[in-house]
Structure 1
């Protein structure tokens, strides 16, 4: 049986991934409604990736005979502003997720080596998550309000294909 404090820690990470998947799905729907279909696709795939993370954590905790506690997810907004404002929020959220995994890693490394490995895998993946988000934000800043530039970025983001998930 997993220690109570580790169980609480994993359940907290499960909640964060659950919020992430719904946040990105709401952003995807919003940008799709604004006809940024490529950005919407990118965010939909990001939502799918966060759901995969959620399931990995659930399976991990269940496999250690822990109790998974799925709590209520707050309602998500329906308006996220410009594409730049939307992806700035993505970047801020990814930084929050990184910080959450960093704190979890710092705590769990003292008491549970097995859990440390899975948390470290997710923490390692966050390097790429933040870098992708930052690149998109910086490109959207360069585009400013140029419709042609925004459409090119939209097309490029629409080419995203989900590959294998590193943490798992």
Structure 2
């Protein structure tokens, strides 16, 4: 059976991924309503990716005979501002997630090396998550007052397929 402190840590990461899923889904719905359908698609796929992360953590904890605790998810906003403001929020959230995984890894590495490997895999993935978000923010900053550039970027983000984000 999994140690109580490991169980709490993994449940905390499950909660973070669950919030990420709903946050990105809310952002997707907002941008879709604003007719930025490519950005909406990108965020919908990002939401699905975060859900996959959550399910992976749930399966891991359940496989160690741990107790999975799905806690209440806070209500998400319905307005995220401009596309730039929306993706700045994405970047800030990804930085929060990275920091959460970093802290979890630093702690868990001392008491449960097997779980540390799982956490480290997610931490590695966060490098790409932050880089993609930063690239989008930088490109939206360049395009901010140019409707044609915004529409081109929207179209490019809409090319994303399931799996790794498409930008760059």
TM-score higher than 0.5: yes
**Distance (Å, rounded) in 2 between the aligned partners of 1:22 and 1:146:** 30
Aligned to 2:137: 137
Task: Name the counterpart of 2:112.
Answer: 112
TM-score, normalization by structure 1 = 0.97
Deviating 4+ runs (over 3 angstroms)? none
In structure 2, distance between residues paired with 1:162 and 1:110 = 35
Provide the residue aligned with 2:51 in structure 1. 51
Measured against aligned partners, the alpha-carbon deviations of 1:21-76 in whole angstroms (never above 9, x if no partner) come to 00000000000000000000000000000000000000000000000000000000
CA distance in 1, matches of 2:114, 2:156: 39
| Paired position in structure 1 for 2:150 | 150
**Which deviations, in whole Å up to 9, do the C-alpha atoms of 1:113-166 show, x marking residues without a partner?**
1100000000000000000000000000000221000000000000001237xx
Q: Secondary structure at the match of 1:109?
A: helix
| Equivalent in the alignment of 1:15 | 15
Q: Could you tell me which residue of structure 2 aligns to residue 159 of structure 1?
A: 159
Question: Aligned partners of 1:154, 1:71: CA distance in 2, in Å?
Answer: 34
Supply the distance in 1 between the matched residues of 2:144 and 2:17 (Cα, whole angstroms): 31
Unaligned 5+ runs, structure 1: none
Where does the alignment leave 5 or more consecutive residues of structure 2 unmatched?
none
CA RMSD of aligned residues (A): 0.7
Normalised to the residue count of structure 2, the TM-score between the two structures is: 0.97
- Aligned partner of 2:97 in structure 1 is 97
Q: Secondary structure at the match of 2:93?
A: helix
